[in-house]
Amino acid sequence: MPTTDICYLGLVEVGQQIQAKKLSPVEVTKAMLERIERLDARLKSYAYVMADSALAQAAAAEKEIASGKIKGPLHGVPVAIKDLCWVKGAPAAHGMTIHRDFRPSEDATVVARLKDAGAIILGKLQQTEGAYADHHPKIDPPKNPWNADLWSGASSSGSGSATAAGLCFGSLGTDTGGSIRFPSAANGITGLKPTWGRVSRYGAFELAATLDHIGPMTRSAVDCGAMLGAIAGQDAKDTTAVPLPVPDYLAGLSGSLRGVVIGVDRRWTSEGTDEAASKVLSEGSRVAADLGAEISEITFPDTKAMVDDWFPLCGIEAAVAHEATYPSRKDEYGPALAGLLDLGLQQSGTDYQKIVLRREAFRGAVRRLFETVDLIAVPAQAFAAPTLATMATLGEDASLIAGLLRFTCPFDMTGSPTITLPGGFAPNGGPVAFQFVGRHFDEAGLVHAGDAFQRVTDWHKRHPAL
């Protein structure tokens, strides 16, 4: 099989071929490393490639599989990790110059669980500074493989670029205000933001502790389900990881949405939303209805306060995360992250408490919606496939910031799970996506709905010409 064809196989699909001994995990890992070496000097998606340890892990997986010991769907499959998640002995810079020499002495829980599942760790993926809005001025941002003039998303930009370009079969990203969803949409891949508390955050640098979510970024809903099944669950090292059983997310996938009620607020999702984003959401809802879903009109609670509150709340929590180095080493920070930290430090205790109360009221209102619907369909963002030139004006245009965060950060404020699905292309050739949002801890429902959509569409199977 040609190398390109191997590298664009699905994660579960390549795993099945490896575990059936039709493909060698060593040869697949070599093919992936060769592709990274050939393409990533241009794409800049990797912060650090771990070729030697990846090949050693692949050789160990090959022996285990040959002996009949199969650990699950990820066994022998090469994946990659967002830089903020610790991998023992590997640099974990968090997109920052301050941490460039930090090499953790242990794995993050999610990394340890991927290794336990037999996955091969190819390396660490580039991200924005501190997982906030912009890349550090001294770091080259990852490129969008569809078009270098298009935004690659933030902050899990390397995860989006590498997964779309076939430089890994799946990756880990994090989402605090939209950072699994933005790069998934921008790069035409599938991203699953789990419920807050479904996945341990131990061994991952914080941006904002009560907003941060770690989740899979792959090329299909099924592949997201496979990765989530490996990393989810309670953790003695992180007491915020909830003690709920982890379902088999790949069980019972039928391709039908009969009996599923999907809520859509047509006013909220269309107001200020561009034609490409609106069209993809409308078409996604139509496909869901064709698959048997009931589309129900809902009124979503006003999100303006949540978008406004997200910035100071994120700033307060980030200031706690960075108190050892900020403001004492402020000159080593880029302007975007420094601005967020300054905003957080300016808030009073009463400011914070008002945000907490508004957030809890909003969480309750959204929770109530899920008494009558199973899923909610929303755009990934209000404007599709933004260019780098457009994103460079972000700090000058309040409507641009609001349009970017309008359909993402409210679901970080609630901790709700979401799945981002590629659903078309903008006139400039960039991918466009929409989201399904689920009730807390119903990631299985999101995988089921995403898989059903992807069985009858092929947007997730399209790849950039590299």
CB atoms within 10 A of CB 301: 18
CA 282 to chain CA mean position, Å? 23
Q: Is 267 exposed, middle or buried (0-12, 13-18, 19+ CB in 10 A)?
A: exposed
DSSP characters over 371-410: TT-SEEEEES-SSSS-BHHHHTTGGG-HHHHHHHHTTTHH
Contact present, 291 and 456 (Cβ < 8 Å): yes
Say whether 71 is catalytic.
no
Q: How does 120-129 read in b/e, with b if 16+ C-beta sit within 10 Å?
A: bbbbbbbbbb
Where do we find the tokens 């640098």? Answer: 205
Q: Is 20 left (phi over 0), alpha (psi -120 to 50) or beta?
A: alpha
- Burial tier of 448 (Cβ tally within 10 Å: 0-12, 13-18, 19+): buried
Long-range pairs, 350-358, Cβ under 8 A, ≥24: 351/312, 352/312, 352/313, 352/316, 355/309, 355/312, 355/313, 358/305, 358/306, 358/309
Instruction: Reply yes or no on whether 200 is catalytic.
Output: no
Helices marked H in 188-321: 221-231, 266-270, 275-290, 304-321
- Catalytic residue, chosen from 44, 82, 143, 193, is 82
Residue 74 to residue 37: CA distance in whole angstroms:
23
List residues bridging with 438 in a β-sheet. 375
Find the catalytic residue in 156, 161, 171, 179: 179
Distance from C-alpha of 132 to C-alpha of 177, rounded to nearest angstrom? 9
Q: Which position among 155, 156, 285, 416 bears the catalytic label?
A: 155
- What is the DSSP track for 136-193? -TTSPPPPPTT-TTB---SSSHHHHHHHHTTS-S-EEEEESSSTTHHHHHHHT-EEEE
156 classed as catalytic: no
DSSP 426: -
CA distance 270 to 197: 31
Residue 305 CA from chain centroid, whole number: 24
> Which sequence positions are flagged as catalytic?
82, 155, 179
